[in-house]
C-alpha cells in the first residue's frame, strides 16, 4: 500500500542528518540517518525497523564517540543528560547490516557538536569499537544510486578502493572518493567547522559533587 | 463476534484526538488517534494492537515534538512529569504502518497545548525524526473513505499530490487538500489557536535545582 | 480436569467487583471483573489469562479514570501510592477481546471510590481512551446468559441497540437495557452513591514538596 | 533419569509449608507448597516449573492477603521489606492450573504469621482476588492420593461436594471433608493459633516519614 | 569443534567450588559448580548454559541460605552488598535438571563462609526451599564417573540408598556414601571448619539507619 | 552483499584490543576482541552478533577480574563508575562458543590497566569463573590462520598441547606456543608492564560514605 521511490540528496541544513548508502535486492539507494538529542537520562532509542546488526553498529558508534568526546570538544555530560534518538526512514522498510556504521557515527557527532555536514556527501562503511573502518559490500549498486541522487563525494573504507576501480570510469565521473581507515578520518572529512543555522544549545547541569574525585 | 462498521467524523471537542486515514484490504477507513496526558514520570504507553512500525512512528513524532517544544510554547517539564498514552480504537483490530505518523504528531501536540483541532479535518502521512513528511500508499481508498465519513479537508504529503490527481474529480468535490513537506506545516494547518473547552491545566513541579547550570 | 459451570450473579457487597458478559464458542456466559487496591507504587497487575486486547482495554480504562479523577472525587495520589490488581476468574480460562472495557472501567472506579455497584447489573462494551463506548459482538448469546444468571439490568453501547431489537421479545422480558455513548454515562448508571459496608480507607502520604509548583 | 515416587504427608513443623493435591495423567498425587520470606524489597519469586495459570494464582493469593492483612494481624510492612519465594517440588516436574490457589494462600499466610498448619491436612481449590473459592477438577484421583499419603482432613470448595458424594464411601472412610466458599474459611480451618517452634522474628524498619499522612 | 574429555577431581583450594555429578546420554560425568562473590547490589548471575530447572535450583538454594544465614554465621548484609555469580563449565555444554541443587547450596555456602570443602567429595541431590533433600536419577552412571574421577566420598539423598545397593559392590569399593535428608546435614558433612588459604574478606557497609526498627 | 577477507594482525597500539582465533566451517580465522570503558554505572554491553555461550564467557571473564582486581592493581570503583563495551567485528558475522574466553579476559584487563598487549600475540581458550583455562577445539585450523595473519606467539590451554603436537612441524615453524592452566598465567604472558601511548585516565568518584564499614 506504500509507494516508494528513489530518494534524492536533500541538504545539510540539519545537524544530525547524514546520507548513507544502501544495497537492496533491486539495486542501490540512499538513506538518511536522522538523530535528535532531547533532555533525558542518557537513553538510546533506535527506530526505523532496524535489525540487530544495525542496532549494534549504532551502539558501537556511540561508545566510540563517548570514549573520544574530548577530541571533538564534546561535553561528556551530554551523554548522561540527553537522550539520543536515531531514526532511519522510511519507517516501514526493514534495514540491517553494518554498513551504516560510519554514517551513524557522523550523524551522532554532528548532533552532538551541531556542526554542519559537508554538502552532497554520502558514505558507507562498517565501524568498530576502536574506530577502525571496515569494507562493506554492494559498492557498485550503492555508487550508482548515490550519483543518481545528486551525491558528489563519497567516503569509503580504504579496502573498498578496489571495488571502485572495477566500475567503468564513465559511470563515476563527477564523483570524488575519499578512502579512510578510521573514524577520525571520517569525521574530519564529513563535519564542517561551522555549525548549522540556529544550533541547539545544550543545557547541562553540574554533576552531583562527590566528596572528592581522583584521577588514576 | 465483533461487528464493525465504518466510522464517521465526530467532532473536535477533545484535545488530543485527531482523525487519520487507514487502508484495509476491504477499502479505506478513518481512524481516531486518541491521546491522554496523566501525571507520571514521562512514560509512553501505546495501545490498540499497534504494530512495530506504527509504534516507532509514535516515538519519532514524540521525539520531534520534544526537540521543538519551544516553537509550540510547550513547557518541556510536561514530558518528564506526565505520562503519555496513545490509543487507537477499535481495540481488537491490529494496525500497522507509518502512515499515521502526522496524525499522531498532531494528536500529541494538541494534547500538550490543549489546542482545538480544525473541524472536519483528516490526514495521512509518514513523519521522520527531522520532521520531514513522507508520502504513503492507499490514497484513493483513504480519500473515498474520508469523504464518506464527513471529512472536508485532508492533509497529505506534497509527493502524494499525484495520487490525488489520478482520482476522478467528481469523487472528490467538496474536499480540500493541503499538501505539506514538513511537520510544522501540518501543525500550523491542523491546530486552531483556541483551546478546547475546559482545557486540562498541567501542574508542573520545579525541577531539582543543580548547583549551577550551563548552556554550551 | 477442571469442571466448569455457568455462573450466577452474586451480589454487590464488594467494591471493585463488576459483572461482565462474555461470548464463547458454546454460548454466552457472565464473568466477574475483580479489582483490589494495595499500598504500593502505582503498579498494575492483570491476571486470569487475559489476552493482549483485554489487557490494553484495562490500560485504557485506567488512563481514562486517571484523567478524570476529579469528576469522581478520586484523590489522584491513590494512583501513585497504591497498586491495582485486576483478576478475571476462572483462572485457567483464556479470555480476550475489548468487550470487557466498560466492566473494567466500572470495577476500577468502584474500587477507587468504594461505591457500591447497582445490584443485578451486568454490562458489555468497548471503552476508548477518550471515554467513547463502542459496540461489541455476540450480543444475543450474552443477553441470554445474563438472564439465566439472574441479571436484571444491562448496559450496552447505543450502537448495540439494533442487536437487542433483533432478539425475540419474549426472551428478554424482565430485562432492562441502558444504552450509552460514553464512560461517564456508564459510571452514573452503575455506581450507587452509597459506599459498600466496611469500605477501605486509603492511607495517602503527602507528595514530596517541590520548591514550588506552577499551573500552566 | 529422575526416579519419582508418590510422596507422603510429612509434618507441620515448618511455617509456610502446606500440602496440596494434584491431578496427573497417571492419577492423583500430593504436593508441597513451600514458602520463605527473606529480607528484601517486596519481590515475589516463583519456582518449581510453574505454568502461567499457577503463577497468577499465587499473585491473586498474595494480593488478597495484602488487602486483608489486618484481619490476620499481619504487619503490612512485611510485604515491602521482605521478599517472598514460593517453590513447589519436585523441581523438574512442570505444574500448572488454578487448583493450588487455596494451598498457596494458606502457605503464604502461615509464613507471614508463623502459625502452624493443622496436621494431616491437605486442600485443593481455586482462589479469586475477592477471596471466593472455586471448584476444581480431578477430585476423585486427588482424594485417593491424599488418603494413600496419610492425609486425614481435606478442604474443598462447597461446589465440589457433589464430586465427593460420587466416590464410593468405603474409599474415603477416615477422611474428614471441609467445604468452604471463601478464603477466610480456609485460613480459619487450616491455621492453628499456635506458632511453629522457633518462629522467624521479622525485623521491620519504620517507613519513611512523610510530611503528613491523611486517611480518606 | 570443541574436544571434551572426562574431568578429574581437582582440589579443594578454592572456596565456592564444589564437585557435582551429572548424568549424560553417554554415561556419568563430574562437573564443577563455581561461585564468586563480588561487591554489588545483590544480583544473581547464572552462566554455563543452564536450563530453567537448574536455575530455579540455584534460586531455591540461595533463598534457603538467606533464611538460615544465622545458623552458618553469615552476615546477612553480604546478600545485599555483593553479587553472586554461579558458573558451571564447560561453557558450551547445556545442563539442566534439579540434581545439582545440593552442590549449588554447598558452593554458595562455601563462598559465603570461605570455608574449605571436604577433599575428594562429590554430591548429587535436589534441594527444596525448606531444605529437604530429594532423590535424583542416574545414580549408577554418576557413581562410576565419580570413582573414575578420583572421588572418595559421595553425598546422596537417603532415598537414593536403594540405588547404591543395586550396584555390584566391587565397583564401589573405596567409596564412602553419606545419605542425608536435609540441607543442614549436607553442609555439616561438606564444609570443613577451616577457611581456605587467603580467604576473601568481605567489606560490608552499615545499613541505612531507619528512624527506629521493631522486631515482631 | 558484504565481502569478507581474512584479517591480518594489526598492532598493539590500543589498550583493550586482543587477537583471538576462530574456527569457521571454511577454516580458521583471527578475530579482534575490542573493549572500551566509558563513564557510566557499571553496565556491560556486548555486540558483534555474539551467541549466548560467548556472552556468558565475557561475563565469567569480567566476574573473575572483579574478584581479583587487587592482584592487577585495578581500582574496584572502575567497575561501578564505568560501563564496559565489548565488540567483536565483523559486526554482521554471528559468533559463538567459549573459546574466546581468555581473549576477552585479556582485552578487559588491558582496558582496565591500559597496559599494552604483547605484540604479534594471539590466544584461544575457555575461561571458567575460578580462572581455570579449558581446552578448545579447531586448533589446527586456528593455528594455520594465525600464522597466515602474522601471529608469532600463541597462548593455549595445557590440554591443547597434544593438538599442536599432531600438526606437521614445518607448518608451525616461527610460532611460539605458551601452554597455560589458569587466567593469571594468561595475563602474565599477554600484558606488558608498559601502558599504551596516551593511556586513558579514569576519573573516579569517592564512594558514598556509610556511617561505618566493617571487614568480616
Ligand atoms: Ca528510498
Ligand atoms: Ca549485511
Ligand atoms: Ca472502523
Ligand atoms: Ca505499511
Ligand atoms: Ca463460567
Ligand atoms: Ca474480539
Ligand atoms: Ca510426587
Ligand atoms: Ca487446569
Ligand atoms: Ca566433562
Ligand atoms: Ca531432570
Ligand atoms: Ca575475518
Ligand atoms: Ca563451541
CATH of the domain at A67: 3.30.230.10
The reply to whether residue A35 touches residue B129, judged by beta carbons under 8 angstroms, is: yes
Give the confidence band of F1 by pLDDT, cuts at 50, 70, 90. Answer: very low
In chain E, residues with a C-beta closer than 8 Å to the C-beta of F124 are none
- pLDDT tens string F182-203: 999 999 999 999 999 999 999 9
Task: Provide the grid cell at C148.
Answer: 439465566
Residues of chain F contacting A137 with CB distance shorter than 8 Å = 1-3
At B1 the pLDDT is 39
Chains touching A (3+ CB pairs < 8 Å): B, F
List of chain B residues with pLDDT < 50: 1-4
Q: Are A126 and A56 a contacting pair, CB within 8 Å?
A: no
Active site residues of B: 99, 142
Query: Is C6 in CB contact (< 8 Å) with chain D?
Result: no
Q: Is C93 left (phi over 0), alpha (psi -120 to 50) or beta?
A: beta
Name the phi and psi angles at F54, rounded to 5: -70, -35
Nearest to F85 among A63, A99, A138 (CB): A63
User: Residue C179, Cα to own-chain centre: how many angstroms?
Assistant: 16
Q: Is residue B7 part of a domain?
A: no
CA–CA gap between residue A139 and residue E153 (Å, rounded): 66
User: In sequence order, what DSSP letters do the residues of E161-186 get, joined into one string?
Assistant: HHHHHTS-GGGGTT-EEEEESBHHHH
The pLDDT of residue C26: 82
Is the pLDDT at C216 greater than 80, yes or no? no
3-state class of B1 per DSSP?
A: coil
Q: Which chain D residues are within 8 Å of C89, Cβ to Cβ?
A: 126, 128-129, 132, 134
Nearest to A213 among F14, F34, F205 (CB): F205
The answer to whether D59 contacts C49, with C-beta atoms less than 8 Å apart, is: no
Asked if residue A201 belongs to a domain, the reply is no
Give one DSSP letter per residue of B54-72, joined into a string.
HHHHHHHHHHHHHHTTGGG
Total residues belonging to chain C: 216
pLDDT at C210 over 80: no
Reply yes or no on whether the pLDDT at E210 is more than 60: no
- Locus of grid cell 456508564: C186
Cell representation of residue F201: 585516565
pLDDT tier at D208, thresholds 50, 70, 90: low
Residue A44 in 3-state DSSP? strand
Among A32-41, A202-211, E37-46, which is the least confidently predicted range? A202-211
Q: For F124, name the nearest residue in chain E, comparing CA atoms only.
A: E2
Q: How far is CA D136 from the centre of its chain?
A: 15
Neighbours of F6 (CB within 10 A): 11
pLDDT at F24: 87
Report H helices in chain D.
Answer: 52-67, 77-81, 101-113, 139-148, 161-165, 183-190
Kindly state the average pLDDT of the residues A166-188.
96
User: Residues D73-116: pLDDT tens digits?
Assistant: 999 999 999 999 999 999 999 999 999 999 999 999 999 999 99
pLDDT at residue E2 greater than cutoff 50: no
- Between CA A94 and CA A98, with CA A96 as vertex, the angle to 5 degrees is 160
Match 493541503 to its residue by C-alpha cell.
Answer: B178
* CA B47 to ligand 3 centroid distance, Å: 16
Among A157-166, B6-15, B26-35, E53-62, the least confident range: B6-15
Range of the domain at A49: 17-193
Closest Cβ–Cβ partner in A52, A129, A138 for F34: A129
pLDDT of residue B43: 97
Of the candidate ranges C160-169, C202-211, D174-183, F140-149, the one whose mean pLDDT is the lowest:
C202-211
Which residues share a beta bridge with F153?
F121, F176
What integer pLDDT is reported at residue B7 of this predicted model? Answer: 82
Mean pLDDT, chain D, rounded, equals: 93
Which of residues D143 and D2 earns the better pLDDT score? D143
pLDDT tens for each residue of D21-44: 999 888 899 999 999 999 999 999
pLDDT (average), residues F11-22 = 94
pLDDT in tens, C71-115: 999 999 999 999 999 999 999 999 999 999 999 999 999 999 999
Model confidence at D211: pLDDT above 80: no
Give the number of A-F residue pairs with CB atoms closer than 8 Å. 103
Q: How far is the CA of A31 from the centre of ligand 1 (A)?
A: 6
Contact D90 E214 (CB under 8 A): no
Total count of domains within chain E? 1
Q: How far is the CA of F4 from the centre of ligand 11 (A)?
A: 6
- Name the β-bridge partners of A82: A39
Decide: B and F in contact? Rule: 3+ Cβ pairs under 8 Å: no
**Nearest bound ligand to the CA of residue F22:** 11
Average of pLDDT values for C44-62?
98
Q: Give the mean pLDDT of E100-116.
A: 98
Mean pLDDT, residues F161-165: 97
Query: For E136-141, what is the mean pLDDT?
Result: 96
Provide the pLDDT for residue D187: 98
Tell me which chain E residues have a C-beta less than 8 angstroms from the C-beta of D91: 53, 56-57, 60, 98, 101, 126, 128, 134
Residues contacting A53, CB < 8 A, separation 6+ = A96, A97, A98, F49, F91, F92
Ligand 9 center to A187 CA (angstroms): 50
- Smallest CA–CA distance, residue B168 to chain C, in Å, is 34
Residues of D in contact with E216 (CB under 8 A): 75, 201-202, 204
Minimal CA separation from E31 to chain F, in Å: 12
Q: What is the pLDDT of residues F76-100, one digit of tens each?
A: 999 999 999 999 999 999 999 999 9
pLDDT score of F201? 94
Considering the domain boundaries, does residue C83 fall inside one?
A: yes
Indicate the average pLDDT of chain E: 93
In a domain, A85, yes or no: yes
pLDDT score recorded for residue D24: 87
What is the residue-averaged pLDDT of chain A?
Answer: 93
Question: Rounded mean pLDDT of F16-24?
Answer: 95
Per DSSP bridges, beta strands F153-157 and F121-123 are: parallel
Q: How far is CA F50 from each of CA A62, E89, F58, rounded to the nearest angstrom?
A: 19, 19, 10
| pLDDT > 90 in chain A, percent | 87
Residue A61: CB atoms within 10 Å: 27
Alpha-carbon gap: E17 to the closest alpha carbon of chain F (Å): 8
Question: Residue C112 domain-assigned?
Answer: yes
3-state secondary structure chain C: CCCCCCCCCCCCCCCCEEEEEEEECCEEEEEEEEEEEEECCCCEEEECCECHHHHHHHHHHHHHHHHCCHHHCCCCHHHHHEEEEEECCCCCCCECCCCCHHHHHHHHHHHHHCEEECCCEEECCEECCCCEEECCCCHHHHHHHHHHCCCCEEEEEHHHHHHHHCCCHHHHCCCEEEEECEHHHHHHHHEEEEECCCCCCCEEECCCCCCCEEEC
| D168-173 mean pLDDT | 92
Provide the 8-state DSSP code for F202. -
Give the single-character DSSP code of E95: B
Tell me if E82 sits within 8 A of E39, measured CB to CB: yes
The nearest alpha carbon in chain B to C58 belongs to B47
Our CA-based measurement puts residue E160 at a distance from the nearest CA of chain F, in whole angstroms, of 31
Q: Nearest ligand to the C-alpha of residue E57?
A: 10
Among F14, F37, F46, F47, the residue to mutate for chain A (most A Cβ within 10 A): F47
Residues 68-97, chain F, touching A (beta carbon < 8 A):
75, 85-87, 89-92
Task: Summarize the confidence of residues E67-76 as an average pLDDT.
Answer: 96
Q: Check pLDDT > 70 for residue D212.
A: no
**Three-class secondary structure of residue F110 per DSSP:** helix
Nearest to B113 by CA among B64, B60, B70: B70
Residue of E nearest to D84 (CA): E63
Whether residue A213 is predicted with pLDDT greater than 50 in this model: the reply is yes
- Does any domain span residue C57? yes
pLDDT given at position D15: 96
Q: Cis peptide leading into A196, omega within 30 of 0? A: no
Min Cα–Cα distance to chain C from D20, Å = 16
Q: What is the pLDDT of residue A208?
A: 62
* Distance in Å, CA A137 to ligand 2 centroid: 8
Distance in Å, alpha carbon of F9 to nearest chain A alpha carbon: 13
Beta-carbon separation of E34 and F135 below 8 A:
no
> What pLDDT is recorded for position F126?
98
Over residues A25-40, the mean pLDDT reads 94
pLDDT per position as a tens digit, D40-64: 999 999 999 999 999 999 999 999 9
Q: What is the pLDDT of residues F112-139, one digit of tens each?
A: 999 999 999 999 999 999 999 999 999 9
Which pLDDT does position A216 carry in this prediction?
Answer: 58
Q: What is the mean pLDDT of chain F?
A: 93
Q: Cβ of F214 and E200 within 8 Å? A: no
Residue D158 pLDDT > 60: yes
Residue B26 burial (CB < 10 Å; 0-12/13-18/19+)?
exposed
pLDDT per residue as tens digits for the range E140-162: 999 999 999 999 999 999 999 99
What pLDDT does A210 receive? 52
Provide the mean pLDDT of chain B: 93
What was the pLDDT predicted at C58? 98
Helices vs strands, H then E, count in chain E: 6, 13
In F, minimum Cα distance to E14 occurs at F130
Give the pLDDT band of residue A24 (cuts 50, 70, 90).
confident
Amino acid at each position: 500500500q506504500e509507494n516508494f521511490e528513489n530518494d534524492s540528496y536533500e541538504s545539510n541544513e540539519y545537524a544530525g542528518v547524514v546520507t548513507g548508502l544502501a544495497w537492496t535486492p533491486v539495486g542501490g539507494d540512499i538513506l538518511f540517518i536522522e538523530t535528535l538529542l532531547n533532555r533525558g537520562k542518557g537513553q538510546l532509542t533506535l527506530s526505523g525497523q532496524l535489525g540487530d546488526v544495525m542496532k549494534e553498529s549504532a551502539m558501537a558508534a556511540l561508545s566510540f564517540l563517548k570514549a573520544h568526546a574530548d577530541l571533538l570538544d564534546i561535553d561528556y555530560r551530554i551523554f548522561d543528560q540527553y537522550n539520543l534518538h536515531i531514526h532511519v526512514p522510511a519507517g516501514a522498510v526493514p534495514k540491517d547490516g553494518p554498513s551504516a556504521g560510519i554514517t551513524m557515527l557522523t550523524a551522532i557527532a554532528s548532533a552532538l557538536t551541531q556542526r554542519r555536514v559537508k554538502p552532497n556527501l554520502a558514505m558507507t562503511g562498517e565501524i568498530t569499537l576502536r574506530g577502525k573502518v571496515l569494507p562493506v559490500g554492494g559498492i557498485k549498486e550503492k555508487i550508482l544510486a548515490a550519483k543518481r541522487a545528486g551525491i558528489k563525494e563519497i567516503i569509503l573504507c580504504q579496502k573498498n578502493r578496489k571495488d571502485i576501480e572495477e566500475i567503468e570510469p564513465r559511470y563515476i565521473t563527477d564523483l570524488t572518493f575519499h578512502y579512510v581507515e578510521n573514524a577520525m578520518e571520517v569525521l574530519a572529512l564529513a563535519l564542517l567547522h561551522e555549525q548549522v543555522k540556529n544550533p541547539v544549545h545544550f543545557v547541562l547541569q553540574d554533576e552531583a559533587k562527590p566528596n572528592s574525585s581522583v584521577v588514576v
